[in-house]
């Protein structure tokens, strides 16, 4: 009996619905149909009236979640694709993110963003928007990379008294599997060392943790020992764990699937340069997707985002610097 | 239409209606005097940012605030001083917020009309028009989950705000969910400087109600009696399970968009038309015509309101401004995240 990343997300929602009467889920095609990716499959039947189909109205979905949250509920909003959350950006960044600051009343909503690409998904079904949401004060932005994190962090997201943008990676949905779920002791806003190594630090999150792990295995055969820090949550950013790693390795490579300009990678590089310049033996590097819209053609798409080969090549250059 | 409504509200005895009218009138009066004070304070340089007044819309706003019951939910907008007060906003909140005081409901973090008391069912607006409609709708969803079948929600918007996608999404969603939501559209003819002709193409905004599958009513927003009848009916209908209600109140904004705006663009013919009447003066005449109050009585109410306003201003002016050194520069409610946020 094994469980996938996608099933972990479903199980977390099932557990939240079972144990917390304040929880309900609202989104498009999530009730009878079970969601575009089946993340809520059978939940409507199991929890009648608490897994609700919404009209195609992302703004109203999030706005209503805010109203319900300040009245004591714990809504979970499923965006059908992360890309469509841009319709709701006003409610997310202006209404929800500022709510506690303006009123001292908490706004505990969870917005699930099925993120990242699959071959043939194109410019509007593939986006990674964590950098965008991380820019706005008041939001927590989670980017789980493992099945256990997908499960535990979603439960934490629902428990947290602040609005959480939960970026779940579609590429990992059915590709990641574990035998059984483990509870984690690590608080959701803490990064973790996903692989220990002495020669250089790769900071990654979400699906890029796995591309980086693949690169690290290749590099190990070349006697380069890579340490990988999985950020888990990109906002707030656990820069201390990153700095500790850089203190051991003296080299930093950041890998993210979102666009390069002003993103999570840029923030990590800036923070390490500011607080750990003395730790570095080489200029910090970053790899992002190309600074174009995301292409439809699988051939183009495969080189648009960072791959293990590109990561390995960058790591070699950094190691040899 | 009004005859039908009066029939529907036949259970309200005339004496009770006069009480209701007088109560609503007093909130209008207090709102007008509060806002006159705000205008003066702004001109004297005592208020940072904008001052947005609701002159000409007090009848609509007061009707909503007066008719809602404790436990109901209210999402007021820019020109709702009367409704806010009637629904229970302490007048001191008005001045604390405009002065940017740390004693105010927003701690000086937001100003002017962006205040509220969410715990008491009065939701603060943000500047993005239309976005409060779904928030009130969501609060009603929460009430429904909790088994509260008695509360209703009301929110107000203008002719301009009703053109937003956010308004449409929220109203449509409320209709799908059959929520007890009353949306009052004060058509004051201008969205900032943009006239109705550049804002929508239907004859009357209430025509949209049919498209949403909700009940809709149109009313003379300068006539408090009519506002109380029509809004009261809509609230009753919402409360008795007839789903969202749309009420369009026709009026004219009798001020600029904000105090910096002299409203030179307003068509002077509108000022002379029935919607250009000052609802407060109309209500004063109505009170006298019905012998519910005479001029001396009204003058005494005005004096009492002025005193209330002056007292609130005096208290607020003695209180501390928001202080950067004492501010908690953290946007998170969750303690562990607040700690994580403050590390670097």
Q: Residues B140-166: pLDDT tens digits?
A: 999 999 999 999 999 999 999 999 999
Determine the pLDDT at residue B12: 58
CA distance B86 to B294: 23
Q: Which residue of A has its CA nearest to B331?
A: A138
3-state DSSP assignment of residue A186: coil
pTM score:
0.96
pLDDT of residue A118: 86
Mean per-residue pLDDT of chain B: 94
- Looking at residue A92, what DSSP letter applies? I
pLDDT of B105 above 80: yes
pLDDT tens-digit profile of A157-204? 999 999 999 999 999 999 999 999 998 889 999 999 999 999 999 999
Partner-chain residue, chosen from A57, A104, A240, that has the shortest CB–CB distance to B169: A57
Q: Please provide the DSSP assignment of A272-310 as one string.
A: HHHHHGGG-SS--EEE---SSPPPSSHHHHHHHS--HHH
Instruction: Kindly tell me if the per-residue pLDDT of B91 is higher than 70.
Output: yes
- pLDDT at B13 exceeding the cut of 90: no
Domains annotated for chain B, with CATH where assigned, are 2-342 (3.40.50.970)
Q: Which positions 259-318 of A are in contact with B (Cβ < 8 Å)?
A: 271, 275
Residues 123-182 of A with CB under 8 A from B: 137-138, 140, 160-162
Sheet strands side by side (includes B181-187): B73-75, B153-158, B181-187, B245-250, B215-220
* Contact (Cβ atoms closer than 8 angstroms) between residue B331 and residue A97: yes
Domain definitions of chain A by residue range: 3-178, 192-320
Residue A25 per-residue DSSP state: E
Give tens-digit pLDDT for B215-274: 999 999 999 999 999 999 999 999 999 999 999 999 999 999 999 999 999 999 999 999
Query: Residue A115, Cβ neighbours under 10 Å: how many?
Result: 28
The radius of gyration of chain B from alpha carbons, rounded to an integer in Å, stands at 20
Percentage of the residues of chain A whose pLDDT score is greater than 90: 98
Cβ neighbours around A45 below 10 Å, total: 11
CB contact under 8 A, A107 and B333: yes
CATH fold match for the domains A3-178 and A192-320: yes
Identify whether the C-beta of residue B249 lies closer than 8 Å to the C-beta of residue B274.
no
Of B311, B245, B227, B237, the closest CA to residue B58 belongs to B227
B281 half-sphere exposure, CB direction, 13 A CA radius? 8
Residues of B whose CB is below 8 A from A95: 126, 128, 131, 135
Q: What CATH class is the domain A3-178?
A: alpha beta
Per-residue confidence band for B6, with pLDDT thresholds at 50, 70 and 90: very low
Instruction: Tally Cβ neighbours within 10 Å of residue B285.
Output: 10
Choose the mutation target among A67, A68, A73, A133 for the interface with B, i.e. most B CBs under 10 Å.
A67
Give chain B as a 3 state SS string. CHHHHHHHCCCCCHHHHHHHHHHHHHHHHHHHHHHHHHHHHHHCCCCCCCCCCCCCCHHHHHHHHHHCCCCCEEECCCCCHHHHHHHCCCHHHHHHHHHCECCCCCCCCCCCCCCCEHHHCECCCCCCCCHHHHHHHHHHHHHHHCCCCCCCEEEEEECCHHHCHHHHHHHHHHHHCCCCEEEEEEECCEECCEEHHHCCCCCCCCHHHHHHCCEEEEEECCCHHHHHHHHHHHHHHHHCCCCCEEEEEECCCCCCCCCCCCCCCCCHHHHHCHHHCCHHHHHHHHHHHCCCCCHHHHHHHHHHHHHHHHHHHHHHHCCCECCCCCCCCCCCCCHHHHHHHHCC
Mutate to test the interface with A, among B138, B168, B181, B322 (most CBs of A within 10 A): B138
Give the tokens for residue B209: 């109600």
Residue B193 pLDDT more than 90? Answer: yes
What confidence category does residue B5 fall into, taking pLDDT thresholds of 50, 70 and 90? very low
Give strand ranges (E) for chain A: 3-4, 23-27, 51-53, 74-78, 110-115, 140-142, 164-169, 177-178, 192-195, 200-204, 226-230, 233-235, 252-255, 285-287
Residue B127: pLDDT band with limits 50, 70, 90: very high
Write down the pLDDT at residue B341: 81
Torsional sign, CA A270, A275, A279, A281? positive
pLDDT tens digits for range A137-158: 999 999 999 999 999 999 999 9
pLDDT (mean) for B95-102: 97
* Sheet (strand A252-255) strand order: A192-195, A226-230, A200-204, A252-255, A285-287
* Main-chain phi, psi angles of B247, to 5 degrees: -125, 125
Is the dihedral angle over the CA atoms B253, B254, B256, B258 positive or is it negative? negative
Q: Using CB atoms, pick whichever of A61, A91, A140 lies closest to residue B131.
A: A91
Phi, psi (deg, nearest 5) at residue A10:
-65, -45
C-alpha to C-alpha distance for A121 and A138, rounded to whole angstroms: 31
Instruction: Give the tokens for residue B4.
Output: 């039908």
Under an 8 A CB cutoff, do A103 and B134 touch? no
CA distance A254 to A204: 6
> Residue B16: which residues within 8 A CB-CB, separation 6 or more?
none
Chain A hits for B105, CB-CB cut-off 8 Å, are 103
Query: What number of residues does chain B have?
Result: 344
Residue B123 has pLDDT above 50, yes or no: yes
Q: Give me the percent of chain B exceeding a pLDDT of 90.
A: 92
The CA distance from A257 to the nearest CA of chain B, in Å, is 24
- Put simply, the answer to whether B331 touches A95 (Cβ < 8 Å) is no
8 Å CB contact of B166 and A189: no
Beta-bridge mates of residue A233? A142
- Mean pLDDT within B293-312: 98
In the prediction, which pLDDT does B224 show?
Answer: 98
Cα–Cα dist A21/A283, whole Å:
51
Answer whether the bond into residue B138 is a cis peptide, omega within 30°. no
Which residues of A are annotated as catalytic? 125
**Domain A192-320 sits in CATH 3.30.200.20:** no
3-class secondary structure, A235 = strand
Mark yes or no for CB contact A63/B166 under 8 Å: yes
β-strand B194-195 against A226-230: which pairing, if any? unpaired
pLDDT at residue B344 in the model: 57
């Amino acid at each position: 009996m094994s469980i996938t990343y996608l099933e972990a997300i479903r199980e977390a929602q099932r557990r939240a619905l079972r144990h917390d009467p304040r929880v309900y889920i609202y989104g498009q095609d999530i009730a009878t149909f079970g969601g575009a990716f089946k993340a809520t499959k059978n939940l409507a039947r199991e929890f009648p009236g608490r897994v609700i189909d919404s009209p195609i109205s992302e703004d109203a979905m999030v706005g209503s979640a805010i109203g319900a949250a300040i009245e004591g509920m714990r809504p979970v909003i499923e965006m059908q694709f992360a890309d469509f959350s841009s319709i709701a950006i006003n409610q997310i960044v202006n209404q929800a993110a500022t709510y506690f600051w303006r009123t001292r009343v908490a706004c505990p909503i969870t917005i699930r963003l099925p993120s990242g690409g699959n071959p043939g998904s194109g410019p509007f079904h593939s986006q990674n928007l964590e950098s965008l949401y991380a820019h706005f004060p008041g939001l927590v932005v989670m980017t789980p990379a493992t099945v256990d994190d997908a499960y535990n962090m979603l439960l934490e997201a629902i428990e947290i008294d602040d609005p959480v943008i939960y970026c779940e990676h579609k590429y990992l949905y059915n590709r990641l599997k574990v035998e059984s779920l483990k509870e984690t002791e690590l608080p959701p806003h803490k990064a973790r060392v996903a692989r220990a190594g002495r020669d250089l630090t790769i900071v990654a999150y979400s699906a890029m943790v796995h591309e980086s792990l693949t690169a690290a295995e290749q590099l190990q055969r070349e006697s380069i020992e890579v340490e990988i820090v999985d950020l888990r949550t990109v906002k707030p950013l656990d820069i201390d764990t990153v700095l500790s790693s850089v203190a051991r390795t003296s080299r930093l490579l950041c890998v993210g699937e979102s666009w390069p300009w002003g993103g999570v990678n840029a923030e990590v590089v800036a923070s390490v340069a500011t607080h750990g310049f003395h730790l570095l033996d080489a200029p910090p590097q970053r790899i992002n997707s190309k600074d174009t819209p995301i292409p439809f053609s699988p051939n183009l798409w495969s080189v648009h985002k960072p791959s293990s080969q590109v990561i390995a090549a960058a790591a070699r250059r950094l190691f040899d610097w | 239409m009004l005859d039908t409504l009066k029939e529907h509200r036949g259970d309200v005895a005339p004496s009770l209606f006069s009480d209701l009218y007088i109560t609503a009138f007093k909130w209008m009066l207090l709102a007008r005097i509060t806002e006159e004070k705000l205008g003066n304070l702004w001109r004297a340089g005592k208020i940072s940012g904008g001052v947005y007044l609701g002159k000409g819309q007090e009848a609509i706003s007061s009707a909503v605030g007066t008719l809602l019951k404790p436990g109901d939910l209210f999402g007021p907008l820019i020109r709702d001083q009367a409704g806010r007060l009637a629904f229970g906003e302490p007048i001191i909140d008005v001045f604390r917020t405009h002065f940017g005081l740390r004693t105010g409901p927003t701690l000086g973090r937001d100003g002017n009309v962006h205040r509220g008391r969410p715990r008491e069912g009065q939701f603060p607006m943000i500047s993005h028009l239309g976005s409060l409609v779904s928030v009130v709708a969501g609060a009603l969803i929460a009430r429904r989950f909790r088994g509260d079948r008695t509360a209703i929600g009301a929110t107000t918007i203008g002719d301009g705000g009703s053109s937003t996608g956010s308004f449409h999404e929220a109203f449509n969603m409320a209709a799908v969910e059959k929520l007890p939501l009353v949306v009052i559209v004060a058509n004051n003819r201008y969205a900032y400087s943009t006239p109705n002709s550049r804002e929508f193409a239907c004859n009357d905004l209430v025509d949209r109600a049919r498209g949403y599958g909700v009940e809709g009513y149109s009313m003379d927003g300068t006539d408090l009696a009519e506002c109380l009848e029509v809004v009261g009916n809509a609230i009753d209908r919402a409360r008795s399970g007839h789903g969202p209600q749309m009420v369009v109140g026709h009026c004219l904004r009798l001020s600029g968009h904000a105090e910096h705006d002299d409203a030179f663009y307003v068509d002077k013919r509108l000022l002379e038309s029935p919607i250009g009447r000052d609802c407060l003066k109309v209500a004063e005449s109505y009170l006298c015509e019905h012998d519910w109050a005479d001029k001396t009585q009204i003058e005494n109410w005005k004096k009492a309101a002025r005193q209330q306003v002056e007292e609130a201003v005096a208290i607020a002016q003695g209180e501390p401004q928001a202080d950067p050194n004492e501010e908690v520069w953290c946007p998170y409610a969750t303690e562990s995240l607040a700690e994580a946020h403050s590390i670097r």
